[in-house]
Amino acid sequence: MFIRIVPKGATPLVWDLSQGPCRIGREAANELVVCEDGISRFHAELRQEGKSVILSDAGSSNGVFIDGDRVKRPTVIMPGERFTLCRNAATVWFETMTNSSVVIRRRPPTRGASSSSATSVCCY
């Protein structure tokens, strides 16, 4: 299942959940890097279970919220539903897609590169 993740004020990311989860956080090792105050290094995760998309808090300090309610356990989210990474920080939503000819992923960091180059996206 392809999903299109739309972070507020940032470039959308198309991710194939059948290839693995989409991790979200400040750390460059995440598939979606969000550099905002209050965002943990590994903040949240989206994954596919059957035909559902599951949102989990990855042990963040400031939480993940759907409609203002803190996500305390893995939760099914619906296409178009918005979730927030910590209160008053990044708002993210996603859309399911039947297929995608271009999957956008984070460029792996190169040895000796600054962290800013690791957070850019490129087409594979």
Q: How far apart are CA 67 and CA 16, in angstroms?
A: 25
pLDDT per residue over 100-122, tens digit each?
544 444 444 434 444 433 333 32
pLDDT per residue over 27-78, tens digit each?
999 888 888 788 899 999 999 998 888 999 999 999 999 888 899 999 998 8
Q: Are 44 and 64 in contact (CB under 8 A)?
A: yes
Number of CB atoms found within 10 A of residue 117's CB: 12
Q: Are 42 and 23 in contact (CB under 8 A)?
A: yes
**What DSSP string describes 3-66?**
EEEEETTS--EEEEGGG--EEEESSTTSSEE---TT--SS-EEEEEETTEEEEEE-S-SS-EEE
Q: How far apart are CA 20 and CA 90, in angstroms?
A: 23
Put simply, whether the predicted model's pTM sits higher than 0.75 gets the answer no
